[in-house]
Structure formats: structure tokens, C-alpha cells
Amino acid sequence: MEQTAAIAKGQDTAGRRRAITDSLQTAGIEYRLEEFSLPRFSGTNIVVDIPGKDTSKVFLLSAHYDRVSVGQGAVDNAASCAVLLELLKEFKRNPLNNFSIRGLFFDLEEAGLVGSQAYLASIRDKQMPADAVNLDIFGYGDTLFAAASSAEGSLAKALQRAAQETSLHVRLVEPARYPASDHRPMIAAGIETLGLSLIDGAEIDPILQRSAQTPRILTIIHTAQDTTDNIRGSDIEKAFPVLLQTIRGVDEGN
Ligand SMILES: [Zn+2]
């Protein structure tokens, strides 16, 4: 909650970025800023590398830190950034066996997935991540709403298994039915990918059907209502171990 509030308080992209890099610094996690510039946009991604015991494969964990011009961008997407920070701290304390972690805080998602596309273009001829989890809209709810590059893939299966022993629901849909976010360029690049949101299960059908009944989430994001008042820390606390176990499950190959 504190972390989400610190990011949401940032007056602009630079302020939000500073809240994240301050937190990384406090946790003793090294980071680098990767600037990109395209004909219409320029921006800055924050990149973190946490070596695993075997560094031959990379597991990408990401969330965008920019927001639209209205509201505080708390649900979309400071809360996901706070969760990503906690995941990075966890993997710093207790690294994976078979993967290095690459943490990415993307800029300019709201401008059209610009930061993630720039990042993936920059690593095209280098080591592509084997797996990726992208968090977008992770502020409250009883359900992990997920898009998987492959419903039968190791990530989707690890997610289902990790959630089984909890009260948390998982709703897995095809990427084409799931709202656009930075997971899309990852899937396009051939990376085994999960796009993940935490929202109330009752909202998902109205989102998928674009029905007349507006789901609560669409009255919050991209409006002046997107403030920390809408974050439910207890829901995020329940989802966090599932997220962690999903990643560790893939690492352990089960
Ligand atoms: Zn978002």
C-alpha cells in the first residue's frame, strides 16, 4: 500500500520513476535506465537484473509505470509496480535456480505499448527471455484474470496449480479476448507469456462481452477516480503468494 501510494503521488512520469528507483535503491537492488526514442515518442524503461543460480535462461517480470493524464494511475498501474518491486526483493533474497530475473518497468504503455515494443526491439538479437509475466491492473479483486500465450504452457499450468490451494480464482482467456497491454509484444516475440490482472470475477464477463453493463474497473481506470482509495491491500496480499508460486513452479519445472 505504501509503495503504491509513493508511486501514485508522483506528479509526472519522472516522479513515478523516482519513487520506483528510490525503492530499488533502498532494497539494494541495482537498476539501469534505458532511454528509447522513436519518431513520435521518447521514454525511459527501468531495467533490473537479478542473476539466478544458473543464468542461461531469463524470466521477464514487468509492469508499466506511466499513467494517463487524469487520476493518479493507482490501479493502472502503480499497484502492479509495487507488486513487481516486492517480487524483485523476494528474488534478490532467494534467487531462482534455473532462470535469471529481468525486471522491467515500462514507460509509455498508455501511448500504445511503446516502452515494451522498444525494449523487445532492443534485445532482438540478444538473449530473449524464455518466460514472461506482465502485470497490468492489479489493485483489488478475488480473481486472477489472465491471458496466456499457450493455455497448455508451463506458465498457465503453474498459475492454475498455484491458485488451487487458495480461495483465489483464475480466469484464463485467449490473448485476443484480453485487453491490450505489454504482454502482446512479448507473445508476438514468441515468449511464453502470461498477462495478469487482479480484479473481481464478476467484472470479467462484462469486460469480455463489452456489454452495456459497465464493469467497475472501467469506471476507475483512465478517469479521475483512479486513486489509491480503490486499492485493496488485503486482496493483493492474497494474490502475491500465488504469483510467487507460479514463478517458482516454472523454475522448479512442475
Ligand atoms: Zn495499464
How far is ligand 1, taken at its centre, from the CA of residue 109, in Å? 7
Tell me the DSSP string of 107-176: S-STTTSHHHHHHHHHTTTS---SEEEEEEEESS-SEEEEEES-TTSHHHHHHHHHHHTSS-EEEEE-GG
How far is ligand 1, taken at its centre, from the CA of residue 164, in Å? 27
How far is ligand 1, taken at its centre, from the CA of residue 68, in Å? 9
pLDDT tens per residue, range 40-52: 899 999 999 999 9
pTM of structure: 0.96
What was the pLDDT predicted at 120? 95
pLDDT tens per residue, range 216-249: 898 899 999 999 999 999 999 999 999 999 999 9
**How many other β-carbons are positioned within 10 Å of the β-carbon of residue 82?**
29
How far is ligand 1, taken at its centre, from the CA of residue 197, in Å? 10
pLDDT tens per residue, range 66-92: 999 999 999 999 999 999 999 999 999
How far is ligand 1, taken at its centre, from the CA of residue 83, in Å? 14
What letter would DSSP give residue 179? P
Q: What angle do CA 246, 163, 106 make, to 5 degrees?
A: 45
